[in-house]
Amino acid sequence: MNRRQMLYATGLGLVGGAVAKGAALPDSAQGAKHHAKALSLADYEPKSMLQVPVTQVDRARFPVIDIHTHISVSAKSKDGVALVPERQYLGAPEELLAIMDRKNIRSMVNLTGGYAAGLAQAVEKYDRAFRDRFYTFAEPSYSLFLKPDYPKLQAQAIEQAHRDGARGLKILKTLGLYLRENLTSGRLVKIDDPRFDPMWDTCGQLNMPVAIHVSDPVAFFTPTDRFNERYEELSNHPDWSFHGPEFPGNAELIEARNRVFARHPKTRFIALHVGNFSENLANVSENLDRFSNMHVDIAARIGELGRQPRTARAFFDKHQDRILFGTDATPHGDEFPQQVFNDKLYEIYYRFLETDDEYFDYAPAKTPPQGRWQIYGIHLPDSILRKVYNGNAARELHITI
Ligand SMILES: [Zn+2]
């Protein structure tokens, strides 16, 4: 009996969202006398019967610097490439500050501050108006990419961004997966393309950390089929799949990133989302050992860390000086419950880091949005919590708490 036949025989026929409810049972299930109607996977919301302690953590134990948030986005982009400097703001500072104060968030780092005039405006509206509560990172000016002297222009743009108040540089997964020779057409531009070398070096010279998103969860590079552990997520967002010959693989992207780390030892990098390989912490750990200029944040990956709590705890013990607190929080990002900026999201992160609670949701959502599993707390001691919540970020941002 294969797995599907077994599910039918036990009365739990799960079918993909695309298949109509009550689909005909296969012949092999005819023998089962009492079977429930086939249930669409999208309608399945199992409630755990497990009775275990639940710790409510309303405030973080130490003031938090959230190194990974998105308060503004580009007002116009095409195929993943920002085309104009103008920003669209997702939450007013006062609205964000109310939640920050409740959750003991000292500062939010808005990674997507953009470039040129849009960046200067974002800094003005947030960083300068509410000192130490907001920090803004710049992004590359891909609109300059087609100019022959782009490498030099981009380095100068970073210098200008620094003068305008940017605290670091953010690289979206645009680089490696979207940016092409003619911006949105032509060959994909590689992460370690030498045209970016002056940009990386300038960041190092100006003490601006580079927050870099490379690749994506490994499952996004495999077919969206019944074996895919993120099947529902990819079904809901088909454009998140990078499976197919037109895209490089996860390993290839990470290797290109590593060549950048190696080539620019004086530039500090924060590899976002646990270096986008939290499915393989041994590999991330190996890279942290290899590159002393590499750090990671945990944004949108507590689902991964929390399903391997013992391995994750060892990872935090070993790399406690290199792990930064981040969430990927996006005000009003309701379609992405694993990163929506609200009280509940932070309470889950705090519970994961601070408690030894077992088997709980990693996102404020009806069903786990990044794969159907639950997580376990890793109960970090105060000495590590302090570093992860603010010490490591303060060091990299050159601020005192
Ligand atoms: Zn992000």
Which SS3 state, helix, strand or coil, does residue 117 take?
Answer: helix
* Model pLDDT, residue 13: 40
- How high is the pLDDT of residue 15? 43
Rounded to the nearest angstrom, the distance between the alpha carbon of 300 and the centre of ligand 1 is 8
pLDDT over 60 (residue 12): no
pLDDT given at position 173: 94
- Output the CA 326–ligand 1 centroid distance in Å: 9
Residue 134 forms beta bridges with which residues? 108
Band the pLDDT of 257: cuts 50, 70, 90: very high
> 76-134 pLDDT, tens per residue?
988 878 889 999 999 999 999 999 999 999 999 999 999 999 999 999 999 999 999 99
Q: In degrees rounded to 5, what are phi and psi of residue 327?
A: -125, -25
Q: How high does pLDDT run on average in the chain?
A: 92
Three-class SS state of 290 = helix
Distances (CA, A) of 59 to 69, 75, 98, 100, 205: 18, 34, 13, 10, 37
Distance of alpha carbon 18 from alpha carbon 12, whole angstroms: 17
Q: Ligand 1 centre and the CA of 93: distance in Å?
A: 19
- As beta bridge partners, residue 66 has 108
Greater confidence (350 vs 13) lies with 350
pLDDT digits (tens, 9 = 90+) for 289-319: 999 999 999 999 999 999 999 999 999 999 9
The two three-digit tokens of residue 28, written as one number: 């092999």
Task: Tell me the CA–centroid distance for residue 79 and ligand 1, in Å.
Answer: 17
34-65 burial, b at 16+ Cβ within 10 Å, e below that, comes to ebeebbbbeeeeeeeeeeeeeeebeebebbbb
- What span, in angstroms and rounded, lies between the C-alpha atoms of 101 and 93? 12
Residue 314 Cα to ligand 1 midpoint, Å, equals 25
